[in-house]
Structure 1
Amino acid sequence: MDNLTFTAFDTETATSHSASICQIGFVVVREGQITSEKSYLIQPPGNEYEARHSCIHGIDSLRTKDKPLFPEVWENIKDEFISSLLVAHNVSFDINILNSTLAYYNLPRPQCNCDCTYQLSGLKLKSLAESLGIVMTKHHDALSDAKACAQAYLFLKQGIKPNLTLIREYKNSNPFAGHEKLTGNILKPDLNVENILNPFYAKKVVFTGILQTMTRDEAAKKVKDLGADIDTGVTKRTDFVIVGQGAGPSKLKKIEDLNLSGFKIRIIIEDDFLNMIK
């Protein structure tokens, strides 16, 4: 629809508290054309994160420690939200997150109409994108999700229906089926290393999920060569957990519970891990 004008947006949160936005991404569509797209990392209240949230979107306190608080970002972007048609995937969730954050900082809510690609399709965002041939660069990145939502909304409003066979093909090729397991000598620590000042020396390390740049065995070998003690499960003595895509929910929940009890288990996403082993 050439006259369709709206703002598609997505939020990522740091904790289960609704006023904890750590990223907001949005795409502005004017007369059926994407005219601008922006993404902001935001420091949530107290710069506090819950492990399971960081593992979903890959954002943690290190990435936002120097980022602006929400009011500063909102001042720059509010014109694209106020008096605009707002579109999101499961819009009631994102509007609640946005309004809760505005209320937390005593900021006025925008007056706007909303529409929802989930209500229009009944599909999860990734499945909807697959079914319409939309390429998502990184699911659970706010800008990537907002852009997929905008493109899907344009298709749906033109009457283009999802191709469900594409979703079935995607599910049949699930890349997370059968997580790798570590065994044998890789689990035996070796403290005879040259650089004992590296961050992994004499630290207990656990891997969960699928890494994109190397196999789990390759990653484990790298940290073993740095003097790490690699374990298969999270305990009170764990120092680092390296997380990839499809990270085990039971491990993430255990990390969160242990950290709430006073332990200090650090979650490391793949990009940070690669920097640490350089």
Structure 2
Amino acid sequence: MNTLDFIAIDFETATGQRTSICEVGICVVRNGEIVETRSWLVQPEGNRYSYWNMRCHGIRPEDTKMAPSFAEVWQEIAAQYLGDGELLVAHNVPFDRSCLEQTARYYELTLPELQWDCSLRRARQIYDYGCHTLAYLCEQLSIPEGRHHRAGDDAEMCARLYLRELHDSNQFSAVGC
């Protein structure tokens, strides 16, 4: 494999509802190298938060009361970063994919054709650890960590982990983590 392009993506939610996205993070990888990491605060519908979600990620209603809606943020992401067939990578794809798909339906947005891969699924296949959380894997594999449960940092940690997984499984030999 000569080039590797993908976008690692992460969503934080304000409540237990998948449509309550309050932060989106992406990490753009081109030719096996991280070229950009970004995050956007998003005002969830009604700007309502659960105690447990705030405790997890630290984002509060006052942080997002002036933030754009998901539809506005997604329009920017789609226009600047996504094309049909783009590979999105997440650590626990079922969660992130359902957040994106359910929220897109809620806002009546059309998503481009996307391919998905899961760094959690790959980690379970490659590494013999009793724990496969993003933070634990990054610690074990000496991958630089940011603020866990903040979307931009988690997206970059996921991208670095995915590159490492490809390297460790001999699927991409020119990867530098």
Fold shared, TM-score > 0.5 on shorter chain: yes
Which deviates further from its counterpart, 84-93 or 127-136? Answer: 127-136
Whether 1:148 aligns to 2:150 is: no
Q: In structure 2, how many angstroms separate the alpha carbons of the residues matched to 1:116 and 1:124?
A: 12
TM-superposed deviation, 1:156:
0.7
- Superposition TM-score, scaled by structure 2 size: 0.87
**1:116 — aligned with what?**
118
Partner of 1:209: none
- Which aligned segments of 4 or more residues in structure 1 are displaced greater than 3 angstroms? none
Amino acid at match of 1:146: A
Write the distance in 2 (CA, Å) between the matches of 1:160 and 1:85.
19
CA distance in 1 between partners of 2:82 and 2:158 (Å):
16
Q: Which amino acid aligns with 2:166?
A: K
- CA drift at 1:2: 5.0
**Kept after mapping to 1: 8 A contact 2:22/2:41:** yes
Shift of 1:19: 0.4
Q: Does 1:131 align with 2:137?
A: no
Question: Do 2:146 and 2:157's aligned partners in 1 also have CA atoms closer than 8 Å?
Answer: no
Which of the residues 105, 108, 122 maps onto 1:106?
A: 108
**Alignment partner of 2:89 out of 78, 82, 87:** 87
Aligned equivalent of 2:9: 9
With normalisation by structure 1, the TM-score equals 0.56
SS in 2 for 1:158: helix
Which ranges in structure 2 are unaligned for 5 or more consecutive residues? 125-131, 171-177
Q: Which residue is 1:26 aligned to?
A: 26
**What displacement does 1:136 show?**
1.1
Task: Note the alpha carbon deviations across 1:146-197, whole angstroms, 9 max, x for none.
Answer: 0000001111111269xxxxxxxxxxxxxxxxxxxxxxxxxxxxxxxxxxxx
Q: Which amino acid aligns with 1:138?
A: R
State which structure, 1 or 2, has the greater radius of gyration over its C-alpha atoms.
Answer: 1
> Do 2:88 and 2:114's aligned partners in 1 also have CA atoms closer than 8 Å?
yes
How far did 1:110 drift? 2.5
Name the stretch that deviates more: 1-10 or 148-157. 1-10
For the residues of structure 1 that align with 2:104 and 2:150, how far apart are their CA atoms? 21
Q: CA deviation at 1:77?
A: 0.5
- Deviation of residue 37 (structure 1)? 1.3
Which AA in structure 1 matches 2:115? N
Instruction: Output the amino acid matched with 1:148.
Output: M
Structure 1, unpaired ranges of 5+: 162-278
